[in-house]
Structure 1
Amino acid sequence: MTITGAHRDAEGTKPRVRGWWERRRSAALDVGLALVSAVECAFEGARFANGAGAPLPLGVLFGVLAGSVLVVRRRWPIAVVLVGIAITPAEMGWLMTLVGLYTLAASEIPKRITATLTSMSLVAMFIVAYVQMAQDVRDAPEDFGDPGAWFVPAMSSFVAVGLSLPPVLFGLYIGARRRLMESLRERADSLEAELSLLADRAEERAEWARTEERTRIAREMHDVVAHRVSLMVVHAAALQAVALKDPPKAVKNAALVGDMGRQALTELREMLGVLRAGEADRPRSAVVPLAAVGVAAAAAAAAAAGSDTDGPCIADVEGLVGQSRQAGMVVEYLVHGEARGYAPEVEQTAYRVVQEALTNVHKHAAGAKVLVRLAHREEEVAMQVENGAPDAAGGGAPGADLPSGGNGLVGMRERVHGLGGVFVSGTTDAGGFRVSAVLPTVAPPAVG
């Protein structure tokens, strides 16, 4: 299983503190800032109480309570900024105001609210700075020389802007950077998930390609071995029956058995040669990416399927019928329409259907009469193999007890359906069996 960034975050995240802090260090930072702000406001509250004639403990307590509000800056940054603006006229809470403005700008609060509170804080600082500087100029004019009327407003504006805008701009930068990092992290997690999904699909396609190739090879092996060996068994049984009575016929049957065996070996060698060639073309030490496994397997299956171009064709059906006749089967072969060239897969599938149907007759209805029909139509080719009842011809060769694996009809149906054709099989009213298949010779139009 592929480990995504979300899993790593879940595994690597430290224990969280109850409340609105994500990490312990965030809680420690906020508590530390709140303590520093409380101490600052306590001193400033004591000074304000002394200047206003209020009790000193009351000013200290007010300063501690006001400064401690900074501990909730992550949860309620608007409240922190509002408290800072409220106590600005008392010349208190400078640290709280700066940190509150930074937190407000870095949070997800709408920008219009941030702009409004920043403007309010700017005005409050300007007023405080203006009043204080005007009083200093009035109390000690000799320290300032001969300032003009612009001096106090300009310096007050400079102080207000210098204290308000830097934390806001820095907060906006940090907030944008945080959102960018979260977006990049989400994209990375999404990409990892997509790559994991693609890898899983590639594995599924590779497994499907391997399964299809194993099925195709098994089908080819079944068609070759079942038909050739079935004829060999039939001829061997006939050879055993006539060996002493009719030596010339026994010699003929023995020659036919040898021919069948050589043909079977030739077809098996061709199939094994294709498989070995496919293995030889694959680098033994190559490292193939997982995403390319499905494509490579599908290409191998297609290449193996393409090797069927040298296989049997419809023209070989007549020879197939002749072999069954040599084995003692009564076969009538009818061709309708004008023969023409078809795609290699259509030619081979038509041949294999007739071959497997004749093999089934040898196995299950020895001695029955067989009718093989082949029809060439405008956009399709049809074939039908029908046999009578097993005892219609008086029985088959003695001793020809042929086993059956039950895969012949399944293989024929898979072949025909794979080309978009129609396959029907079943018993007849006369007690025989009929196999019919129709293969399209024109590819269907592409959709879209």
Structure 2
Amino acid sequence: MTRTGEDHRAAGDGPWWWVRWRSAVLDGGLALASALECGAEGVPFARDAGIPVAVGVVFGLLAGSVLLIRRRWPIAVVLVAIAVTPAQMGFLMGIVGLYTLAACELPRRIIVALAGMSLVGTMIVTFVRVRQDMARGDLTLGDWFVPFAAVATSLGLTAPPLLLGLYVGARRRLMESLRERADSLERELQLLAERAEERAEWARSEERTRIAREMHDVVAHRVSLMVVHAAALQAVARKDPEKAVKNAALVGDMGRQALTELREMLGVLRAGDGPPRQRQRERQREPEAALPLAAVGAAAAVAASRAPGDEGSAAPVEGPYLSELEELVGQSAAAGMVVSLSVEGEARPYAAEVEQTAYRVVQEALTNVHKHAAGAKTRVRLAHRASEIAMQVENEPPPEPASASAGLPSGGNGLLGMKERVAALGGVFVSGPTDAGGFRVSAVIPASAAMS
């Protein structure tokens, strides 16, 4: 991971205030050179001031060595350089000090003020020194040369290090900003990756739940009808052989269709693809030439079981539609259930999710009647309203409570699955026993609802 400015500085292993050893060595070398320069310049300064030469040399050495703390206290270095300017010493210290000051993260007004003081001090000292040299006859140029030399010297010793320091400081701050931005982006990417993993895990969990629900919808209803027909076959096998043959054919046909639907669903889970709905329905209708009761629109599970992100593969198989409710009710009637279907309002097309959910609610409710109230009279109502579609499946008490279960197993998830389906579309689902001893399943789904 990238390191930000403070982390980058904290990662150094240099002594004291230096981040790296090479910085300490560089400052030590600059301080030594500055001390030697100031010590050498202290000799003429001592003679001009009338003090012992040793004192001038020691003063120069001490003043020049201040450059050692330029990274820690750059303002102090510049002030010392300005202070020793009248003694005509500390030129290296002044140049390096101004560069360090401009490169530091200090307020711009402080940098400008100190640079201005250094410029003015150098200009005054140069002006006085050149004028003295011309007065002694060392220089024979015109009077114009005195201000020119003062301005040129002061600008030459002040402007280059100041501008270079400002450039280096701005570049350093830009690099630190880029480091911080890269570190922030990396943290955001890591956070996004974690959230994506969480969403993927949630999606996998939802997909497993949905596949289990679709498997239940596809298989449970048809297998329940097979069990009912098998029981009827056992009851009439000896009394009415012709009816027994018909029931056996129904059981075989439904078993084949259940296996076909299960095989197609498993094929989609393996390959992420499935046959178009028209070809699937044609295959389902082939054995129905003699027995038109065997058909179920459970192929929705094939489409719904596709994993997210498979849009680029073949078109998914569509689910059942409300127009197939009459066929669904006919299957239950063929299995011996006394069932009626009533439709209120004008039928119109809905979103695929709405029609599939409404179909599954009715299908699961009829399956539960086969399981728990065999032989009970059942009424299926479907109402097309202005902004919603309502469905209700209500059965009366079974005529023979002792055999109501018909030996059909129940996982206890059918009602929960229906409630989840309806709630996902913003609808309302209610189920429970009636006062007459039967059971009622009701659902209302907004007509404009669609799963996200």
Letter in 2 for 1:382: A
Give yes or no for contact 2:100–2:165 (8 Å, CA) kept in 1: yes
Partner of 2:108: 111
User: Structure 1's 205 and 14: CA in aligned 2 closer, same or farther, altered over 3 A?
Assistant: closer
The CA distance in 1 between the partners of 2:327 and 2:150, in whole Å, is 110
Match of 2:376 in 1: 368
Is the 2:338–2:377 contact (alpha carbons within 8 Å) kept by the matching residues of 1? yes
Aligned residue pairs, count:
421
Instruction: Answer yes or no: is the 8 Å Cα contact 2:40–2:57 preserved in 1.
Output: yes
> What's the RMSD between the two structures over aligned residues?
3.1
Distance 2:395 2:405 in 1: 21
| 2:394 aligned residue | 386
Partner of 2:335: 327
Equivalences for 1:413-428 in 2 at 5 Å?
A: 413-428=419-434
Q: Which moved more, 1:260-269 or 1:161-170?
A: 260-269
- Tell me the distance in 2 between the aligned counterparts of 1:160 and 1:277: 81
Residue number in structure 1 paired with 2:300: none
Kept in 2: contact 1:209–1:301 (CA 8 A):
no
- Spell out, residue by residue over 1:249-294, the C-alpha distance to the aligned partner (whole angstroms, 9 max, x if none): 322221221222133234334434555663599xxxxxxxxxxxxx
Q: 2:58 aligns with which of 52, 61, 64?
A: 61
- The superposition leaves residues 58-111 of structure 1 with CA deviations (integer Å, 9 ceiling, x where unpaired) of 333322332222222122211111111011111121111111100111112222
Deviations 1:340-395 (A, max 9, x none): 33332222211111111111222223333322221121222111112234xx3114
Q: 1:233 to 1:8 in 2, by over 3 A?
A: farther
Cα distance in structure 2, aligned partners of 1:398 and 1:431: 13
1:288 aligns with: none
> CA distance change for structure 1 residues 274 and 320 in 2, over 3 Å: closer, same or farther?
same
2: CA distance, partners of 1:36 / 1:269: 88
Tell me which residue corresponds to 2:446: 440
Q: CA deviation at 1:180?
A: 2.0
Output the CA distance in 2 between the equivalents of 1:340 and 1:368.
31
- Within a 5 Å distance, the mapping from 1:148-297 to structure 2 comes to 148-272=142-266, 274-275=268-269, 278=272
Contact 2:354 2:449 in 1 (8 A): no
User: What letter corresponds to residue 388 of structure 1 in structure 2?
Assistant: E
Tell me: CA distance 1:190–1:308, structure 2 relative to 1, closer, same or farther (3 Å).
same
Pair 1:298-2:311 in alignment: no
**Relative to structure 1, is the Cα distance of residues 152 and 79 closer, same or farther in structure 2, using a 3 angstrom cutoff?**
same
CA contact (8 A) 2:4 2:183 kept: no
Are 2:267 and 2:274, in contact at CA under 8 Å, matched by a contact in 1? no
Alpha-carbon deviation of 1:13? 7.2
CA gap 1:181/1:406 in 2 versus in 1, 3 angstroms:
same
5+ residue gaps in structure 1? 282-295
Higher RCO (C-alpha under 8 Å, 6+ residues apart): 1
Q: 1:164 to 1:192 in 2, by over 3 A?
A: same
Cα separation, 2, equivalents of 1:92 and 1:29: 21
Tell which deviates more after alignment, 412-421 or 128-137: 128-137
Classify the secondary structure of the residue corresponding to 2:308: helix
Query: Letter of the aligned partner of 2:380 in structure 1?
Result: V
Report the 3-state secondary structure (helix = DSSP H, G, I; strand = E; otherwise coil) of the residue aligned with 1:6.
coil
For residue 436 of structure 2, give the secondary structure of its aligned residue in structure 1: coil
- Of residues 14, 37, 43, the one that matches 1:40 is 37
Structure 2: stretches of 5+ with no match in the other structure: 276-305
Asked if the contact 2:321–2:356 (Cα under 8 Å) also holds between the matched residues in 1, the reply is yes
Distance 1:8 1:45 in 2: 41
Give the Å deviation of 1:47: 3.6
Identify the residue that residue 130 of structure 2 maps to in structure 1: 133
Q: How far apart are residue 39 of structure 1 and its match?
A: 2.7
CA deviation string 1:220-273 (max 9, x = no partner):
211011111111112212222332333233222212212221332343344345
**1:4-83 superposed matches below 5 A:** 4-6=1-3, 14-17=11-14, 19-83=16-80
SS at match of 1:5: coil
Distance in 2 (CA, whole Å) between partners of 1:7 and 1:120 is 35
Q: Provide the secondary structure at the position in 2 that maps to 1:189.
A: helix
Q: CA deviation at 1:148?
A: 0.9
Aligned to 1:312: 320
Cα distance, 1:111–1:421 mapped onto 2, change above 3 Å: same
The superposition leaves residues 13-34 of structure 1 with CA deviations (integer Å, 9 ceiling, x where unpaired) of 7543464322222222223322
Q: Which residue of 1 aligns with 2:298?
A: none
What is the letter of the counterpart of residue 334 of structure 2?
Answer: Q
The change in CA–CA distance for 1:339 and 1:158 in structure 2 (over 3 A counts) is closer
Q: What amino acid is aligned across from residue 25 of structure 1 in structure 2? A: R
Alpha carbons of structure 1 residues 340 and 125: separation in structure 2 relative to 1, 3 Å? closer
SS of the residue 1:442 aligns to = coil
Report the alpha carbon displacement of residue 396 of structure 1 after superposing the two structures with TM: 7.5
CA contact (8 A) 2:41 2:60 kept: yes
Deviation at 1:168, TM superposition (A): 0.8
Matched-pair contact (CA < 8 Å) for 1:335–1:374: yes
Distance 1:339 1:406 in 2: 33
| Alpha-carbon displacement from aligned partner over 1:392-436 (angstroms, at most 9, x marks no partner) | 311476994222222212221222122222111223333332211
CA distance in 1, matches of 2:376, 2:312: 39
Identity %: 67
Structure 1 CA distance, aligned partners of 2:216 and 2:78? 84
TM-score by length of 1: 0.84
Cα distance change of structure 1 residues 79 and 90 upon mapping to structure 2, 3 Å threshold: same
| Conservation of the 8 A alpha-carbon contact between 1:308 and 1:345 | no
Contact 1:241 / 1:398 at 8 angstroms: preserved in 2?
A: no
Quote the residue 2:91 is aligned against.
94
Q: Matches of 2:410 and 2:217 in 1, distance apart?
A: 12
CA deviation map 1:306-360 (0-9, x unaligned): 7353x32222222222222232323233322233333322222111111111112
